[in-house]
Amino acid sequence: MNQTEQESFRNNIQSTELAGDGFLVSLWRNDFPILQATVHGVPLAYLDNAATTQKPLSVIDAENYYYRNNNANVHRGIHALSQRATDAFEAARVKVQHFINAASPNEIVFVRGTTEAINLVAQSYGRSFFKADDEIIVSRMEHHSNIVPWQILCEQTGAVLRVIPVNSSGELEFEAYNRLFNQRTRLVAVTHVSNALGTINPVRAMIDLARIRGVPVLLDGAQAIAHMPVDVQELDCDFYAFSGHKLYGPTGIGVLYAKSALLDIMPPYQGGGDMIRSVSFDGTVYNSIPYKFEAGTPNIAGVIGLGAAVDYLSNIGFDKLIRHEQALLGYATQSVMDIPGVRIIGNALEKTGILSFVLEGVHPHDIGSILDLQGVAIRTGHHCTMPLMKHFGVSATARASFGLYNTKDEVDKLVAAIFHVKEVFGV
């Protein structure tokens, strides 16, 4: 092939790939019944996926099927339904294990969500092993749910928080992180991806630094889990927390991954049924992991729905999903940046599909209301990251966040809606 032919070949491949992605996205969209909805009489453009994602039919059907056909309590009935429910419940645990490449299903603890997972680690691991003046490293970009559980623990134990600063692009200052370590450092608890900015943190390198010093690491994976492959063994993190509802699964179900050696030495978080082996008034013997941490009847339907969500994402494949979401982020960033008066908050080199912005002369809350009337659903506010907002000198931002089913057409609607905000406010 001569050079012109090569170029034309490459262009053809590119356009084929783009057309292919558009076709794939239209197929994916068909899996989500709610995307057909209208709000205020106009089609919905759902751009609030960092808050929660919509659910594919397979997830809705999995819960529905369970309640219609298999509903029973798990791990305790002798009858057929209980066995079916238990099998489905434990099969989902194995799906989650494979999804994040945990070494064993025993390392998958089902909890209500990321928040509960972090609280579990704080109250079980932290409260047992931390003492006064011990130090916990968090970052300035943490969601409140990766700050407040540690503050509570600090009040209980006298431990103190050390905070990794953030630069003006919204990236962690790696050198400053390195300098925070000392003899009293007991844990690093950082977010994998920032919910307010989309920044993907260099967690692999951060874990390496902590590992050298023998400090365990907890990753808040709430915003990462649906947007990139997560391999907990490759990362070598000690704890990984995420929520089902951010990866196209149900609300009220989440996962704490922890290395089995840690789960073994951690005391129970809550007492109750299923977490015990035997109870007498002389003493109680706890169940083995992970059941030691799963007191009470669990969210069985939620776990089964989460299993279906994991299947759904695995079938799509992260390679296709990342290509689409990154292309969409690039397109949206360029389009929104070109609007006069807009400032994008968070310009990290490595980002997931989150676009936080402010508009000169208009409060984000007003942007949110006006966009909503045009069918464009975004989040406005501090995104439960008040220290980060303070860092950027804003009280709130408007945040569009993309999922696998979002399209360029929806980005165009977002942009048109922002222009409408400018028109209403005369800015």
Interface with other proteins (CB under 8 A)? 361-366, 369-370, 373, 380-382, 386, 389, 395-396, 424-426
Cβ(307)–Cβ(69) below 8 Å:
no
The span from the CA of 176 to the CA of 181, in Å, is 9
Between residues 153 and 362, which has the closer beta carbon with respect to other proteins? 362
Between residues 44 and 210, which has the closer beta carbon with respect to other proteins? 44
Question: Considering the complex, what minimum distance in angstroms separates the CB of residue 378 from other proteins?
Answer: 13
Question: Considering the complex, what minimum distance in angstroms separates the CB of residue 74 from other proteins?
Answer: 37
In angstroms, what CA-CA distances link 227 with 89, 105, 143, 316, 320? 25, 22, 18, 12, 11
154 as an active site residue: the answer is: no
Question: Considering the complex, what minimum distance in angstroms separates the CB of residue 195 from other proteins?
Answer: 16
Between residues 162 and 383, which has the closer beta carbon with respect to other proteins? 383
In a 13 Å sphere around the CA of 193, the CA atoms on its Cβ side amount to 24
Among residues 94, 322, 384, 394, the one annotated as catalytic is 384
In angstroms, what CA-CA distances link 193 with 139, 223, 346, 353? 12, 5, 12, 10
Question: Considering the complex, what minimum distance in angstroms separates the CB of residue 376 from other proteins?
Answer: 13
Burial letters for 256-292: b for 16+ Cβ neighbours within 10 Å, e otherwise?
Answer: bbbbeebbeebebbeeeebbbeeeeeeeeebbebbbb
In angstroms, what CA-CA distances link 392 with 22, 146, 210? 36, 19, 28
The span from the CA of 305 to the CA of 60, in Å, is 7
Structure tokens at 425: 């406010």
Which of 306, 279, 236, 318 is CA-nearest to residue 60? 306
Between residues 255 and 378, which has the closer beta carbon with respect to other proteins? 378
Between residues 215 and 345, which has the closer beta carbon with respect to other proteins? 345
In angstroms, what CA-CA distances link 38 with 46, 60, 365, 412? 11, 20, 22, 17
Between residues 137 and 370, which has the closer beta carbon with respect to other proteins? 370
Cβ(300)–Cβ(93) below 8 Å:
no
Question: Considering the complex, what minimum distance in angstroms separates the CB of residue 359 from other proteins?
Answer: 12
Question: Considering the complex, what minimum distance in angstroms separates the CB of residue 19 from other proteins?
Answer: 35
> Which residues make Cβ contacts (< 8 Å) with residue 260, sequence separation at least 6?
103, 104, 106, 107, 289
Positions marked active-site: 384
